[in-house]
Amino acid sequence: MKAVGKTIKNINLNEAVFVTLMLYLSMAFFSFALSNILLGIAGAFFVIGYLNGEITLKAINWKLYMVCVVPYLLTVISFFNSEAIISGLRYLNLRLPIIVVPFMLLSLKIEKPQIINGFKLLVVASLIACGVTFYNGVKYFDQDILFKTDFVHFITIIQHPYFGVLVLIALLSVLEYQIISNKLFKWLVVLLFTLAIVLTTSRIVYISYFLAACFYLYSHFSRKQFVLSFIAIAILSSTFLLFNKSVLNKFQRSLDYDKSPRLKLWSNTFEAVDKTQSYYFGIGIGDFYKDKKDVYFAENYSEAALGTYGFNPHSQPIEFYLTNGIFGIVILLIAFMIYLKNLKLQSKFAHVIFIIIFLFSTVECILDRQYGVQIYAVLIPLLLTESFKTNETI
């Protein structure tokens, strides 16, 4: 026991908590069970650090903490607005890390070397995940399903948009930090991550990648170089879409109501609120999801079917309107404005990562899947920590 105590004393518990939380995020590629175990280990390190005085709550900015946990508080309110308690409990449990992880992260003293080590873990996990994805691509190559959006789940190791977002964040961290010292290997990794992102066929990931690439080029190149690079990217993107009808059709359907399941799901949400006149406080989350339905059946919606319970809206802001009404949207907007005010003080890298997560949340209910909860719970508070208060650009 004395040996164990001595070993614990030699551990930098601030770093141990942070590294374990980054492992928790990285394991989103592989195992929910292992992710949850790592979250428990991070909690144990945090408690030990608090008890021995190495970790204190003096550093925590309670206003920022409350801003970060607003989604969970709205979920609690919607839960108590539900009659279907059991189905509502699932969402309270799923989103619990939103309360726990920001509390730990905002209490830590995290230095830049620790940030780099944390993102190294995400890069390594992303490389392994990309390796599995490339293997699947080779395995199914002769079956002609590459870039076919209906079959992409056979290729990517986890659901393709979440895979793409995590890999894109890993790619940007390679560009931001000296994670890989060898230039040739560094750009090889960037290329591999880019190819993996292309395989996702996810529109929002493609758009996020394009915006991040433009921002990076603008930050590092002269105006002439930027314009030439932008033209080159535009030509490559156009060529890819012209030769890949499946992905091109996916983009073309985005704004066509008759062909876009997502637009129908959004309409279904607004109609459900309208039918029940739940404008102010929304429909209880347990009640709406008591009888969950496969969202892909939304393609067969007729006008009479609009307002049906159980369909995931595929947009986090729209879901909060559904489950919390105008009240929830007002609270979210207040939290959003406070967050942006503080984010302005952070590095451009933090800005880009936030934009990626924000854009992603507009077309996916990221807090309805553990992948999304892990991304939100770790990165949203992390971007506000002192380690990101720099003038560095991506």
The DSSP element (H or E) to which 38 belongs, if any, is: helix 32-51
Q: How many CA atoms lie within 13 A of 299 on its CB side?
A: 7
Beta carbons within 8 Å of 93's beta carbon, 6+ residues apart: none
Among 64, 89, 86, 63, CA closest to 75: 89
Beta carbons within 8 Å of 148's beta carbon, 6+ residues apart: 201, 246
Q: For the purposes of burial, counting CB atoms within 10 Å of the CB of 226, is it exposed (0-12), middle (13-18) or buried (19 or more)?
A: middle
DSSP codes of every residue in 238-306:
HHHHHT-HHHHHHHHHTT-TTT-HHHHHHHHHHHHHHHHT-TTT---HHHHTTT---GGGGGG--GGGT
Backbone angles phi, psi at 110, to 5 degrees: -110, 125
Amino acid at 301: Y
Distances, alpha carbon 194 to alpha carbons 171, 172, 243, 250, in Å:
8, 11, 18, 20
* pLDDT score at 141: 77
Tokens of 104: 């730990």
- The model carries a pTM of 0.92
What does each of the 394 residues of the chain score in pLDDT, given as a tens digit?
Answer: 444 455 555 679 999 999 999 999 999 999 999 999 999 999 999 999 999 999 999 889 999 999 999 999 999 999 999 999 999 999 999 999 999 999 999 999 988 999 999 999 999 999 999 999 999 888 877 777 777 776 787 788 999 999 999 999 999 999 999 899 999 999 999 999 999 999 998 999 999 999 999 888 888 888 888 888 888 888 988 888 888 888 888 888 888 888 888 999 999 999 999 999 999 999 999 999 998 877 665 455 555 478 889 999 999 999 999 999 999 999 999 999 999 999 999 999 999 999 999 999 999 999 999 999 999 999 999 999 988 876 555 6
Question: Helix, strand, or coil here: 333?
Answer: helix
* pLDDT score at 1: 47
* pLDDT score at 4: 47
Cα 261 to Cα 297: distance, rounded to the nearest angstrom: 9
Beta carbons within 8 Å of 90's beta carbon, 6+ residues apart: 289
Contact 360, 161 (CB under 8 A): yes
Cα 259 to Cα 251: distance, rounded to the nearest angstrom: 11
* pLDDT score at 304: 46
Parse the chain into domains and list their residue ranges. Answer: 78-100+255-394, 113-220
* pLDDT score at 5: 52
